[in-house]
């Protein structure tokens, strides 16, 4: 078999595509709107580690789809760029003194080269990097629009503070109480922060999810993150000596109010110091100080034991008129609802734990369906329950509301409170405003000025960009201020409003800012007048398919939707949502090797024995092969450059698609890549043999008839599977076809031409070369996608499985749609059936046409 010269072929065609700008996207209005496609990859953060084999998984998928749509007559926009602001470059600069601009440029150059080696059909003229001043000028411009719309505000707020990175973190960047980047325990600290009012869009962000063609899991995560809760606010008047004051609580269960035996305030609640009695003051104060040190997570999910202090004050339950004590506890968050609750220990787990700890009374107000059936309205529900249940049921011990099903009781009691002026319906969201500032250097400067007389003044739009100044000191100051605060030439400026001496804002934007709108800049990346022209936006938007990792379910994907909605409300984009369809690629894992005690052994310390099992080199201990995340320490990281070098880009692309369904996690196995390489070698070998000329879909010889049938079936399968992103099964079908061609004595030219086109999106370099070998000039990229002739796709024969008592015993070939009696007779004659029948008469025979015959004996 002549070896397949992939290296020359791939270099040759990559140069051709570049020289001819083959994949340049143009806004040609001859393409109707439904023939335009915007296919987007989540652009990479150019880390120092270089490309991971997980990156090209999604990129190959969008690339196959892009190439497929071009061949189907679509105008396609398929761009690539870099998300290049962020902490690692800055941390590296602190360590080495190399400017983040320099390392970022080096990393981008490496990434670009690695990505280009795969032969993706990007329009490279649209490349962008979020840290380029021509790009972030428009990030700053959009920020000013948000600011002018009242969606950016400054606050002195306790934030999640990483004592190691010396920076504030968004809730999303805190993982189990620790900094997502460095793992240090996060603490609370008061810092001056810029916030974005994403909460103003909570309802729209929630509602519009319904119409998106996104994975259900991502939608669920966004819904939970937004966390809409409906209930009521109810006022509790305080008892003397504070009878003029009231505490408003938020509850989702107003139906349980007859069981509210005490109130709990968040320790930071503004009323606390006012109502606390003299005796309780020291304890309350000490408790407030303790609370200030804890994060929300430590106060809620991580808290093992409830804590709290009595304030000495009492309130009156508006339905029972009972005097009930007012406590403070850190399980009540000041930032949610009203920062105060009515505690119903019988039906809320947290209240139950608290009441048990402090010996507070428990009153049942909901009976389960079962209990209600047994005891009914006249039953006795006075004994305090032995456990807490939050399930719905029927109201009990609830005065005139007793007997109402929970949902009805909620409405009725809310209405009752509203009619008497001590309550109203209320909605709350878990979603918090977005902490939009970082005390770091390598980010977009926030284009605002602090003037002693005018306050905060936005820069004039014409004074953008506000460029990052040069410096060689990237460490944040230990006051928590950004390194920019240490550059007086930059900080000191004049007020754009009154001209007096003023100071620039020194916080920078978080890493998520640049990725909130990059898909819009691709539309018009060189525009120096606007962030993107209206015509181009109208031509391409919205994004038809967006592919990327599932880890972005709530961060990037929620922030980008938020900015897009703001731009929509400003009339700057024409759709409410940016990404119509989203697909998450599965993670590419790797094999790893595990000892009996479950510890993992680095791959280079493992040998494979002759019987195919694995053992540890040093000790000979048998190891089990398991699937794990790729990691440097396990030495199981696959380097894409080496794979391309050894097997070529086409093999790598096809292998990653052949590994399994796009959205599933799957382990890398270089043996599988070699299998694909052999498949491409086979294709090459066929192209080296002479072709025969005969009419299209010729059936004049048995061999041609077989090829014609299989070819049309292959067109059908590859078309359907490519269109539905089922690339692995499309490749299987191509393999079936090639196996048949390999056995044939002479391959008809028409069949080969069609196959090369089917191959083109998957192995584009090889396909271009084969197309040229077929005598064509120019690129295959815009050739018409083949159509199948339906009549050749119909099967005339099928395989019938023979079962005896439900177990498979034999099979035979039959004509499609053969009569049942014929199938029964043929099945009984098979050797497998004969053996098990052993002369007996069958009790029953079940026939499933075209599939199986089951003989019951
Ligand atoms: C009384 C009650 C009785 C409650 C019952 C629940 C069950 P979601 O669904 O998360 O909105 N709550 C209200 N504000 C709170 C705060 N700032 N910090 C901690 N907890 C707070 O939950 C709303 C419920 O959480 C509210 O309804 C309140 O407890 C509590 F059988 O009120 B409930
Ligand atoms: Zn001023």
Q: Where in the chain is the domain with CATH 3.10.20.590?
A: 795-856
pLDDT of residue 90: 85
Over range 730-735, report the average pLDDT: 98
Rounded to an integer, what distance in angstroms lies between the CA atom of residue 247 and that of residue 235? 6
Q: Where in the chain is the domain with CATH 3.40.50.620?
A: 35-129+513-584
Tens-digit pLDDT profile for residues 638-677: 999 999 999 999 999 999 999 999 999 999 999 999 999 9
Tens-digit pLDDT profile for residues 567-590: 999 999 999 999 999 999 999 999
28-37, 300-309, 449-458, range with the lowest pLDDT: 300-309
**167 C-alpha to ligand 2 centroid (Å):** 29
Residue nearest to atom 29 of ligand 1 (CA): 251
Q: Residues 630-789: name the CATH superfamily.
A: Isoleucyl-tRNA Synthetase; Domain 1 (1.10.730.10)
Say yes or no: CB of residue 233 within 6 Å of ligand 1: no
Say yes or no: CB of residue 341 within 6 Å of ligand 1: yes
Q: At what angle do helices 727-743 and 749-759 cross, to 10 degrees?
A: 150
pLDDT higher than threshold 60 for residue 725:
yes
Tens-digit pLDDT profile for residues 127-184: 999 999 999 999 999 999 999 999 999 998 777 888 888 877 767 678 888 888 789 9
Query: Alpha-carbon Rg of the chain, whole angstroms?
Result: 34
Ligand nearest, relative to CA of residue 451: 2
Residue nearest to atom 19 of ligand 1 (CA): 332
**175 C-alpha to ligand 1 centroid (Å):** 24
Task: Please provide residue 70's backbone torsions phi and psi, each rounded to the nearest 5 degrees.
Answer: -60, -45
Residue nearest to atom 1 of ligand 1 (CA): 251
In eight-state DSSP terms, residue 334 is T
For tokens 């190691």, the residue is 164
For tokens 């070698």, the residue is 681
Tens-digit pLDDT profile for residues 608-646: 988 889 999 999 999 999 998 888 888 888 999 999 999
First to last CA, the chain: 54
Over range 294-310, report the average pLDDT: 85
Question: Residue 624 is inside which H or E element, if any?
Answer: strand 622-628
Over range 236-255, report the average pLDDT: 96
- Number of helices (H), then strands (E), belonging to the chain: the values are 27, 35
**176 C-alpha to ligand 1 centroid (Å):** 22
Over range 216-228, report the average pLDDT: 97
**449 C-alpha to ligand 2 centroid (Å):** 9
The answer as to CATH 1.10.10.10 being correct for domain 229-428 is: no
**234 C-alpha to ligand 1 centroid (Å):** 12
Say yes or no: CB of residue 668 within 6 Å of ligand 1: no
- % helix / strand / coil in the chain, to the nearest 5? 40, 20, 40
Ligand nearest, relative to CA of residue 250: 1
With CA atoms as reference, report the closest residue to 228 among 426, 407, 430.
Answer: 430
Rounded to an integer, what distance in angstroms lies between the CA atom of residue 477 and that of residue 40? 39
Question: Residue 799 is inside which H or E element, if any?
Answer: strand 797-804
Ligand nearest, relative to CA of residue 346: 1
In eight-state DSSP terms, residue 185 is B
Q: Give the atom of ligand 1 at the shortest distance from the alpha carbon of 335.
A: 17
Q: Where in the chain is the domain with CATH 1.10.730.10?
A: 630-789
Ligand nearest, relative to CA of residue 299: 1
Q: Average model confidence (pLDDT) for the chain?
A: 94
Say yes or no: CB of residue 541 within 6 Å of ligand 1: no
pLDDT higher than threshold 50 for residue 461:
yes
Rounded to an integer, what distance in angstroms lies between the CA atom of residue 38 and that of residue 27? 12
Burial of 615 (0-12, 13-18, 19+ CB in 10 A): middle
Give the pTM: 0.88
**253 C-alpha to ligand 1 centroid (Å):** 8
Say yes or no: CB of residue 500 within 6 Å of ligand 1: no
Rounded to an integer, what distance in angstroms lies between the CA atom of residue 364 and that of residue 386? 10
Which CATH class name applies to 35-129+513-584? alpha beta
Q: Where in the chain is the domain with CATH 3.90.740.10?
A: 229-428
By the 8 A CB rule, do 313 and 239 touch? Answer: yes
**263 C-alpha to ligand 1 centroid (Å):** 12
In which region does residue 176 sit, left (phi positive, over 0), alpha (psi from -120 to 50) or beta (all else)? Answer: left
pLDDT of residue 653: 98
Instruction: Write the secondary structure of 75-120 as one string of H (helix), E (strand) and C (coil).
Output: EEECCCCECCCCHHHHHHHHHHCCCHHHHHHHHHHHHHHHHHCCCC
Burial of 850 (0-12, 13-18, 19+ CB in 10 A): middle
Q: Which of 223, 233, 235, 250 to mutate to test the pocket of ligand 1 (most atoms within 8 A of CB)?
A: 250
Q: Give the atom of ligand 1 at the shortest distance from the alpha carbon of 252.
A: 27
Residue nearest to atom 26 of ligand 1 (CA): 251
Rounded to an integer, what distance in angstroms lies between the CA atom of residue 314 and that of residue 237? 9
pLDDT higher than threshold 70 for residue 2:
no
Tens-digit pLDDT profile for residues 352-372: 999 999 999 999 999 999 999
Residue nearest to atom 27 of ligand 1 (CA): 251
Over range 793-797, report the average pLDDT: 81
Over range 434-453, report the average pLDDT: 94
The C-alpha angle 200, 205, 206, rounded to 5 degrees, equals: 115
By the 8 A CB rule, do 651 and 673 touch? Answer: yes
Tens-digit pLDDT profile for residues 509-521: 999 999 999 999 9
pLDDT higher than threshold 90 for residue 484:
yes
Over range 120-132, report the average pLDDT: 98
Ligand nearest, relative to CA of residue 449: 2
Ligand nearest, relative to CA of residue 330: 1
At 1, is the pLDDT very low, low, confident or very high (cuts 50, 70, 90)? very low
For tokens 């439900």, the residue is 806
Say yes or no: CB of residue 47 within 6 Å of ligand 1: no
The answer as to CATH 1.10.260.40 being correct for domain 795-856 is: no
Ligand nearest, relative to CA of residue 256: 1
pLDDT of residue 478: 67
**500 C-alpha to ligand 2 centroid (Å):** 6
Rounded to an integer, what distance in angstroms lies between the CA atom of residue 475 and that of residue 166? 9
Over range 774-783, report the average pLDDT: 97
Say yes or no: CB of residue 493 within 6 Å of ligand 1: no
Say yes or no: CB of residue 329 within 6 Å of ligand 1: no
Q: Which of 228, 236, 252, 307 to mutate to test the pocket of ligand 1 (most atoms within 8 A of CB)?
A: 252
Say yes or no: CB of residue 300 within 6 Å of ligand 1: no
Cα dihedral 529/534/538/544 (nearest 10): 40
Q: Give the atom of ligand 1 at the shortest distance from the alpha carbon of 266.
A: 17
Say yes or no: CB of residue 251 within 6 Å of ligand 1: yes
By the 8 A CB rule, do 328 and 287 touch? Answer: yes
């Amino acid at each position: 078999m002549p070896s397949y010269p992939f290296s020359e072929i791939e270099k040759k065609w990559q140069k051709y595509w570049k020289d001819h700008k083959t994949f340049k996207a143009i806004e040609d209005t001859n393409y109707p709107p439904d023939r335009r496609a915007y296919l987007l990859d989540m652009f990479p953060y150019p880390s120092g580690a270089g490309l991971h084999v997980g990156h090209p998984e999604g990129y190959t998928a969008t690339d196959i789809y892009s190439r497929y749509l071009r061949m189907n007559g679509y105008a396609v926009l398929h761009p690539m760029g870099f998300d290049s602001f962020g902490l690692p470059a800055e941390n590296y600069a602190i360590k080495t003194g190399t400017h983040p601009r320099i390392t970022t440029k080096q990393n981008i150059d490496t990434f670009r080269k690695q990505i280009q080696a795969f032969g993706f059909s990007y329009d490279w003229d649209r490349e962008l990097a979020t840290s380029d001043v021509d790009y972030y000028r428009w990030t700053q411009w959009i920020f000013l629009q948000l600011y002018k719309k009242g969606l950016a505000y400054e606050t002195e707020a306790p934030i999640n503070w990483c004592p190691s990175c010396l920076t504030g973190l968004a809730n999303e960047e805190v993982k189990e109480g620790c900094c997502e980047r460095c793992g240090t325990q996060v603490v609370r600290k008061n810092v001056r922060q810029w916030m974005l009012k994403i909460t103003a869009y909570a309802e729209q962000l929630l509602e519009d999810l319904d119409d998106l063609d996104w994975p259900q899991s991502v939608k669920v995560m966004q819904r939970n993150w937004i966390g809409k809760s409906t209930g009521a606010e109810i006022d509790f008047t305080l008892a003397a000596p504070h009878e003029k004051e009231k505490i408003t609580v938020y509850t989702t269960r107003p139906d349980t109010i007859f069981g509210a035996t005490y109130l709990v305030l968040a320790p930071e609640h503004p009323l606390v110091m006012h109502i606390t009695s003299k005796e309780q003051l020291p304890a309350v104060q000490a408790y407030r100080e303790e609370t200030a040190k804890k994060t929300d997570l430590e106060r809620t999910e991580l808290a093992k034991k409830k804590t709290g202090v009595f304030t000495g004050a009492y309130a009156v339950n508006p339905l029972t008129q009972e005097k009930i004590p007012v406590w403070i506890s850190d399980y009540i968050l000041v930032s949610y609802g009203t920062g105060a609750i009515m505690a119903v220990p019988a039906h809320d787990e947290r209240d139950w734990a608290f009441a048990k700890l402090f010996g507070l009374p428990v009153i049942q107000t909901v009976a389960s369906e079962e209990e209600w059936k047994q005891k009914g309205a006249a039953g006795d529900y006075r004994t305090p329950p032995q456990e807490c249940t939050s399930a719905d049921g029927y109201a009990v011990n609830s005065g005139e509301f007793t007997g109402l099903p929970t949902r009805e009781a909620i409405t009725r009691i809310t209405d009752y409170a509203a009619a008497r002026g001590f309550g109203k319906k209320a909605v709350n969201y878990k979603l918090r405003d977005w902490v939009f500032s970082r005390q770091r250097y390598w980010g977009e400067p926030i284009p605002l000025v602090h003037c002693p007389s005018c306050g905060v003044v936005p820069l004039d739009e014409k004074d953008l960009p506000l460029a990052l100044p040069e410096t060689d000191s990237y460490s944040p100051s230990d006051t928590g201020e950004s390194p920019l605060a240490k550059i007086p030439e930059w900080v000191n400026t004049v007020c754009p409003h009154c001209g007096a001496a003023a100071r620039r804002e020194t916080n920078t934007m978080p890493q998520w800012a640049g990725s909130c709108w990059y898909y819009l800049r691709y539309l018009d990346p060189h525009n120096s007048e606007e962030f993107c022209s209206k015509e181009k936006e109208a031509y391409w938007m919205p994004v038809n398919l967006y592919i990327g990792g599932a880890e972005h379910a709530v961060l990037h994907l929620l922030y980008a939707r938020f900015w897009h909605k703001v731009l929509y409300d400003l009339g700057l984009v024409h759709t409410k949502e940016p990404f119509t369809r989203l697909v998450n690629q599965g993670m590419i894992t790797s094999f790893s090797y595990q000892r009996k005690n479950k510890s993992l052994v680095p791959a280079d310390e493992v040998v494979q024995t002759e019987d195919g099992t694995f053992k540890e080199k040093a000790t000979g201990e048998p190891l089990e092969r398991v699937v794990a995340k790729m990691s440097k320490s396990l030495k199981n990281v696959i380097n894409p450059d080496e794979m391309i070098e050894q097997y070529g880009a086409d093999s790598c692309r096809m292998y990653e698609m052949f590994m399994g369904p796009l959205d599933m996690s799957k382990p890398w196995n270089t043996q599988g890549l070699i299998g694909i390489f052999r498949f491409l070698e086979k294709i090459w070998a066929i192209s080296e043999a002479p072709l025969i000329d005969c009419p299209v879909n010729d059936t004049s010889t048995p061999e041609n008839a077989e090829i014609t049938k299989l070819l049309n079936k292959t067109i059908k399968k590859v078309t359907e599977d490519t269109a539905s992103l089922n690339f692995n099964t499309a490749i299987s079908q191509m393999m079936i076809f090639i196996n048949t061609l390999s056995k044939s004595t002479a391959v008809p030219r028409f069949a080969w031409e069609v196959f090369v086109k089917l191959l083109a999106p998957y192995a584009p370099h090889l396909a271009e070369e084969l197309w040229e070998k077929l005598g064509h000039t120019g690129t295959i990229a815009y050739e018409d996608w083949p159509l199948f002739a339906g009549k050749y796709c119909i099967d005339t024969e099928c395989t019938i499985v023979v079962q005896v008592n439900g177990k498979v015993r034999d099979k035979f070939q039959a004509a499609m749609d053969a009569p049942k009696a014929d199938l029964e007779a043929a099945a009984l004659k098979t050797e497998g059936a004969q053996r098990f029948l052993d002369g007996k008469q069958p009790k029953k025979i079940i026939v499933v046409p075209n599939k199986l015959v089951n003989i019951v004996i």
